[in-house]
Amino acid sequence: MTAMDRRQFVELALGAALCSAGLGCASMVTHRVAPVDGNVRLQLLDHPDLHGAGGSLRVLPDGFEEPVYVLALEDGSYAAVSPICTHRGCTVDVRGPELVCPCHGSTYDRQGTVLEGPAERPLQRFPTRVAEGDVLVIRLET
Ligand code: FES
């Protein structure tokens, strides 16, 4: 088992435990994706986790060490953010309308804006747009 495999296993196990405890979570399945020209393209019909406000999905683009959280917003649009807390680098959890850092309690909204510290900077954001009616395009180069 490689270091990456072990980390992913631990994340999955911890995520499953949090979900079981009713604490909310992002989709526990990490979808590996292959960017093309710096863009990830997700066929929305193929990702029911993103259907409806509050939906979330975790994708791991080829070449990335950390996943990207893809989040369906109340207004029908989507956000894509890094899950890495800007305080000291822990991985935030999706808990309903918020992303919460388990380390020191920083809280972000689903677009990565800080709601409560100690973090002072927003999560890294990746621009998103919907193309061709049902393809969510995430620009990885910001
Ligand atoms: Fe997230 Fe400290 S690392 S609040």
- For residue 44, what are its two tokens? 């929305």
Q: How far is the CA of 84 from the centre of ligand 1 (A)?
A: 9
- What order do you get walking across the sheet with 114-116 strand by strand? 93-95, 98-100, 107-109, 114-116
Q: How far is the CA of 102 from the centre of ligand 1 (A)?
A: 7
Question: For atom 3 of ligand 1, which residue has the closest CA?
Answer: 88
Q: What is the mean pLDDT of residues 60-75?
A: 93
d(CA 116, CA 2): 35
The beta-strand segments (E) located in 1-142 are: 30-33, 39-43, 56-61, 68-72, 78-81, 93-95, 98-100, 107-109, 114-116, 125-126, 128-131, 135-139
20 has a pLDDT exceeding 70 = no
Q: What is the mean pLDDT of residues 1-28?
A: 45
- For residue 108, what are its two tokens? 């972000």
Q: How far is the CA of 43 from the centre of ligand 1 (A)?
A: 33
115 has a pLDDT exceeding 90 = yes
As a dihedral over the C-alpha atoms of residue 70, residue 51, residue 53, residue 36, rounded to 10 degrees, the angle is: 20
Q: Which residues line ligand 1 (CB under 6 A)?
A: 85, 87-90, 101, 103-106, 118-119
What counts of helices (H) and strands (E) characterise the chain?
1, 12
- For residue 5, what are its two tokens? 């495999």
Q: How far is the CA of 36 from the centre of ligand 1 (A)?
A: 32
26 has a pLDDT exceeding 60 = no
Q: ∠51-57-62 over CA atoms, to 5°? A: 130
Question: For atom 4 of ligand 1, which residue has the closest CA?
Answer: 104
pLDDT in the model for residue 58? 94
Q: Say if residues 58 and 116 touch (Cβ distance below 8 Å).
A: no
